[in-house]
Structures are given as structure tokens and as C-alpha cells.
Amino acid sequence: MGELGPADTNGILSLPWIRPERTSAGLGWDRLYLSRQHEQPYRAEFGPARTHQLILHLAGPVTVRRGVGSPGERSRRIPAGGLFLQPSHQELSVELGGELDTLHVYLPDSAVQEAAGSDAPVRLADRLGSVDALLEQLLLTLDRVVREWEPGARAYADQLGALVAAQLARQHRAGPDAPAAARPVEALTDRQFAQVRELMDERLAESLGLAELAAAAGLSVSRFARRFKARTGLPPHRYLVRLRVEQAGLLLRTGAEPIADIAVRCGFSHQEHLTRVLRAQLGTTPAALRRDG
């Protein structure tokens, strides 16, 4: 078998507005094809492919419909970390409801059958917004291998691909004996999110713990953390940091308050803390933001 590429997929990556950021093309991978890209909203139908298609949502939430126009049409709002699985040799009708960063991985059915190690053929189920922490980490690691590619990593990539195939065969097969699919995580309601956001805005300068945020939504800490990420695509602490960065940037561009005071006012320990975060997230510094207005 030769190297897998776009010709082995169902054609989504051939849409004219999709420009992959990076792919595994040219690396000699014959059991896997990977592509990372930004997708625009679309509605289309695709023919069957000999490869299984696995899509990891890197952002979100975004609404996806599959089986559009059919009696089995389904719609789901999928957060970052959600998975879309399209088994090989099946037609696909799908609608993407918003812009989305995705990681696509395609692997031949032969890899799944080999990983299953069974005389009876294994059929995969289609998934729409399932959560599989192991698959998510395997796909992200494969993407990192492509980004930091060196010839000596070929065996590592093959091993990761085999683990992806094994997880699909074990946890995502179809049929009466198939394991139950992980249910998509329910997101915070509009009311719950508004209450949490109000608390964050009011106490931006304070150290807010998960317990306080969860209490504002009327949820346990673990349930709140999952539902918050399903709603925003970010864990609560990262979302809070983003709010602090946005407020600090606004004050720096529009006022003359000392930078050290702005840092504390926006929840940073000191000016150096604010500088580190701005440099990491925006690639700039407080002084540069103030100077550029």
C-alpha cells in the first residue's frame, strides 16, 4: 500500500475554502493520513471512502448536522474535544454550522480489522460529538509529530496509528455488543452562564475558585467544569484569564493608569505577571499595547 493522501478520503478536504495548516503528506505514512485546518460553514454530501474518517474539534461549540434531509437526521452542538466519526464505505451528508478548527485523521479499514484481532469483521459506529479522552490525546500527539517531524519519528507515528485503530475497534464498534458511546457533555444553560459570567466580571481582581463558580451555576464542581467547557470551549480558569487579558488590554489602550495598578485591578499578581501572560497570549507587552493605543 502506498502513502495515504487526500485521494483516499471522502473529499471534505478538497472543498475550495479549506486550506490545511499542515498534513502528513510526503511523510510516507501508509496507514494514516492527518490534516489540520480551519473550516468555513458548509452543507454538502460526500461519497463513501475506503478510509474511516475521524474529526477532532479543536474549537467550539459549533452545531453539526449529519444525515441532512434523511429520516435519521441528527443535530448536535459539539464543544472543543468532541469527535465526529464517519465509518468507511458509507455516504455522508453533513452541515457545519460555524467556523471551526479541526484535526482530521483517516485510516484504512484494514488497520482497524488488524487491531481488532478477530475472525469476525468489526464495524464502526458513526459518532457525533462523542468524547474519548484517549483518542483526543492520540490525535493531538500525532499532530505534534507532524509539526515537529523528523525521520526517526516514523516508528513512533506508526505506533500511535495502531493505538488509534485499537481504540476505535474496542470502543467505537457498532452492533448489539458495542460499548455505549460516551454521551456528549451537556452545556451550561444561558441562565447559568450569565450568572457565572456576572460573578467573573464582578470579581475579576480576586482569586476565584471553581467551587464559587460552580455554586453560581448551582452545580457540583466536576459537573460545572465539564458543562462550562462544553459551553465556551475553554476550562473555567482559562476563560477567566482571557477576560482578565481583555480588560487589561482595554485599560492599557484607553487610560493612563499605571501598568502595575492595572495588573492588580485585573487579577494579576503584579506587573511582571501581566507581562508574561500578555506575551504568551498576545505576543506583546503592556507597554507596547499602551504605546500602540
Q: Kindly report the CA angle at 80 between 157 and 127, in degrees rounded to 5?
A: 75
User: What length is written for the chain?
Assistant: 293
The answer to whether residues 228 and 236 touch, using CB atoms and an 8 Å cutoff, is: yes
d(CA 136, CA 58): 10
Q: What is the pLDDT along the chain (293 residues), one digit of tens a residue?
A: 588 888 899 989 988 888 899 999 999 898 899 999 999 999 999 999 999 999 999 998 999 999 988 888 999 999 999 999 999 999 999 999 999 999 999 999 999 998 888 778 889 999 999 999 999 999 999 999 999 988 778 878 888 999 999 999 999 988 766 665 556 678 899 999 999 999 999 999 888 888 889 899 998 887 888 888 888 888 888 898 899 999 999 999 998 899 999 999 999 989 999 999 999 888 899 999 888 86
Distant-in-sequence, close-in-space partners of 18: CB < 8 Å, separation ≥ 6 = 12, 37, 38, 39, 40
Residue 207 is predicted with a pLDDT of 80
CA distance 34 to 142: 8
Spatial distance between the Cα atoms of 259 and 224, rounded to a whole number of angstroms: 34
Look at phi and psi of residue 291 and say left if phi exceeds 0, alpha if psi is from -120 to 50, else beta: alpha
Strand-pairing partners, residue 62, are 78
